[in-house]
Amino acid sequence: MKMTSLDALAARYEAFLIDQFGVLLNGAGRYPFAPGALARLAAFGKPVILLSNSGKRAGPNAQRLLDLGFARDSFRLVLSSGEAAFRALHHRAYAPGTPVWLHARDGDRSAIDGLAFAPVDTPAEARLLILAGSQADRLSLKDYETLLAPAAAKGTPLLCTNPDLEMLTPQGIRPGAGQIGALYQKLGGPVEFIGKPHPLIYAEAAPLLPGIAADRILCIGDSPAHDILGGKRAGHATALVRTGLHAEMPEADLAALCAAEGAMPDHLLPRFAFTEA
């Protein structure tokens, strides 16, 4: 894989779908170069959408970026998997008062705000489980197995709105919600994943970029299994950054990982920054 520059890619493509964690954010805050690079990219006048596997909805994601010093005019919107899932849930025929168990981070309830669900405290009580985030920085996968096994035994459907297998935290890399969703499948429970690399989030993004051919849209991310594979499946060009989840992985090993995932990127970036930054 050959390294290129953000300068060259900014001039080459007509729109950009950019991941948050691993590209702009590092798990403890922002990368110092990211706000300036995002603002400069937006100044080209081309659409910049932040395409994130965050289980939180668009509003909380955008506010977090503003709180971290990103300029509001440096991106059009955050299209999160949580936002895509909320739109999907809004159109599905759940009976009013359906008991739902929501598992998220930071006490976020935006996944069900305005929907006619009745929140419950445990998965065993629910008729729908929404897994919007992982709390694996305080709960082990064995804890999750104990928590979820009764619901899986009943066949309660689980909607995983953050399919990331790993997440960046101040304590390092921890299992993401995607791993918890996979665990639920192993327990026998039915799971629907929304987010990268699955198609729904890209279908939600497409109408926001009218008149732009798919291969003129560049997806930038740090995960071959999510950002690169999802972008390729949607017909977009892809760029893998060497920050984030695989920052310490030797290049040969990273290339082997991409090949194994069927997710070889079109471009490789050292980081999300212009060359003089």
- 73 — pLDDT class (breaks 50, 70, 90): very high
- 169 — pLDDT class (breaks 50, 70, 90): confident
State the Cα–Cα distance between residues 266 and 48, nearest whole angstrom.
19
> Token digits for 266?
């079109």
What's the whole-model pTM score?
A: 0.87
Q: Which of 193, 219, 248 is a domain's end point?
A: 193
- Chain-centroid distance of CA 35 in Å reads 19
Q: Which of 143, 174, 193 is a domain's end point?
A: 193
What range does the domain containing 133 cover? 94-193
State the Cα–Cα distance between residues 260 and 274, nearest whole angstrom.
30
> Token digits for 91?
């159109």
Map tokens 């059009």 to a residue. 76
Q: Which of 141, 161, 193 is a domain's end point?
A: 193
Instruction: Please indicate, yes or no, whether residues 212 and 75 belong to a single structural domain of this protein.
Output: yes
**pLDDT at 237 (0 to 100):** 98
Arithmetic mean of pLDDT, 9-15: 97
Arithmetic mean of pLDDT, 31-51: 97
For residue 229, the SS3 value is helix
Buried b (16+ CB within 10 A) or exposed e, 218-244: bbbbbbbbbbbbbbbebebbbbbbbbb
List of residues 6+ apart from 55 with CB closer than 8 A: 80, 81, 82, 85, 104, 105, 108, 111, 131, 132, 133, 161, 162, 177
pLDDT digits (tens, 9 = 90+) for 122-159: 999 999 999 999 999 889 999 999 999 999 999 999 99
Residue 88 in any domain: the answer is: no
pLDDT digits (tens, 9 = 90+) for 111-129: 898 899 999 999 999 999 9
The CATH number for 55's domain is 3.40.50.1000
For residue 145, the SS3 value is helix
pLDDT higher than 90, residue 188: yes
Phi/psi for 77 (5° steps) reads -165, 165
**pLDDT at 276 (0 to 100):** 67
Residue 168 in any domain: the answer is: yes
Domain tally for the chain?
2
Which residue type occupies 276? E
